[in-house]
Structure 1
Amino acid sequence: MGESARRYLLLADEDLLSLVERRDPDAFAALYDRHSRAAYSLAYRMMGERQAAEDLVQDAFLKVWRSAGSYRAERGSVRTWILSILHNRGIDQLRAQASRLRTRERLEASSEKTQPSEAFSETLRSSQREQVREAMSTLPPEQLKILELAYFSGYTHTEIAELLGLPLGTVKGRMRLGLKKIKEYFESRDLAVPK
């Protein structure tokens, strides 16, 4: 250990922080050595995982490097200040994670909703298109609207319920009835029923 490195070990946290404010890398290294273990301990308790805790410590100390001039001794010790930076950054990261998780769950949930069958959609594009249109024209308007939204516009049951201001069960019920009537229409004319 060199003479200058030993000198940093003897400095108080506040003095080290003043040097960090002036962009002194050795002072920053000394501050990091002194407080990184406590910071990691808090980060690990917050994040519950080693890599995430290490990343959080790095993020917090980067903020310390950039914001050394914002430290105020009257608000607490340098260690308390560093740990509060880490705590705030950790809370931000956990919120962002939770938000990403909620978004992913929403996307997964909407894709799991009963989607119009590919085969039925294909039928609409085939030679039976006119027959299907004719069958649909026999439906009551409330069933027709739901089937059109589902099969022609690609909306999920949940989206249709929101669009029309109806309970989800009503949407599913009307869709079932509509499909049943179309099937009966095809069977009564000895036509192949779209699958």
Structure 2
Amino acid sequence: MSGPPVRLRLEQQANRRLATLLVAIAGADREAFTEFYRATSPRVFGLAVRILRERTAAEEVTQEVYLQVWSLAGRYDEQRASPMGWLIMLTHRRAVDRIRGDRSATDRDTVYGHAQLGRDHDVVEEAASQRIEEQAVRRCLDTLTSRQRETIALAYYGGQTYPEVADVLDIPLGTVKSRIRDGLKRLAACLAGGGEIQ
């Protein structure tokens, strides 16, 4: 019966410790950085592997994330996210940027290949259509609250289950489900209107 409260207390203590370490890291404390890295890197690397599905790329992204932690620790805002939530968002962004970069390189090769086959018009039309869709999705994501965006990003882009999202954000599972449900309804309504902000 005492399980959940004890677990919650331990999580709160861990969050407080990580927040304290971030303050020290902002002051260029290398020992604090080492402790922070040891406490958090398994989850960062695990998320990077799940998103990228390639160990070497995940290792590189993990290194990039901790370089960001070293340089951005002073900007961490405890009111906006838990230390782990902030770190997971940094990881997600880095991993998605890596995927986009790899995809862009592949797309450039594909466009070149199609051009050589004399099918420029198909490639151009396809690329333009995809760009319009991506812009509509970006505009519609801006209609969500920051909490809805963060929760949806972890679940859909980060490949996390709802319980994992609840754990990362340190919120109840029901809150995760309602944020995602409301956020997806809002996205659907916006996209149905052609990507115009409602």
| TM-score under structure 2 length normalisation | 0.51
Could you give the per-residue CA deviations for residues 95-129 of structure 1, whole angstroms, max 9, x where no partner exists?
Answer: 11111111111112223x2xxxxxxxxxxxxxxxx
Counterpart position of 1:66: 71
Matches within 5 A, 1:66-145: 66-111=71-116, 113=117
Q: What's the C-alpha RMSD, in Å, of the aligned pairs?
A: 2.1
Counterpart position of 1:19: 24
Deviation at 1:94, TM superposition (A): 1.0
Bigger Cα Rg = 1
- Stretches of structure 1 lacking an aligned partner (at least 5 in a row): 1-8, 114-156, 163-195
Q: AA paired with 2:21?
A: L
- Stretches of structure 2 lacking an aligned partner (at least 5 in a row): 1-13, 123-198
The number of aligned residues is 108
Greater CA deviation, 19-28 or 102-111?
102-111
CA distance in 2, matches of 1:108, 1:31: 46
Deviation at 1:36, TM superposition (A): 0.2
Deviation at 1:158, TM superposition (A): 4.4
Deviation at 1:65, TM superposition (A): 0.6
Deviation at 1:76, TM superposition (A): 1.9
Deviation at 1:19, TM superposition (A): 0.8
Could you give the per-residue CA deviations for residues 32-60 of structure 1, whole angstroms, max 9, x where no partner exists?
Answer: 00000000110000000100011111111
Q: AA paired with 1:23?
A: A
CA distance in 2, matches of 1:82, 1:158: 44
Assess, with a 3 A threshold, how the Cα gap between structure 1 residues 98 and 18 changes in structure 2: closer, same or farther. same
CA distance in 1, matches of 2:62, 2:99: 14
Counterpart position of 1:33: 38
Q: AA paired with 1:101?
A: T
SS of corresponding position for 1:75: coil
Counterpart position of 1:3: none
Deviation at 1:15, TM superposition (A): 1.1
CA distance in 1, matches of 2:77, 2:53: 30
| TM-score under structure 1 length normalisation | 0.52
Aligned sequence identity (%): 28
1:42 to 44, 47, 56: 47
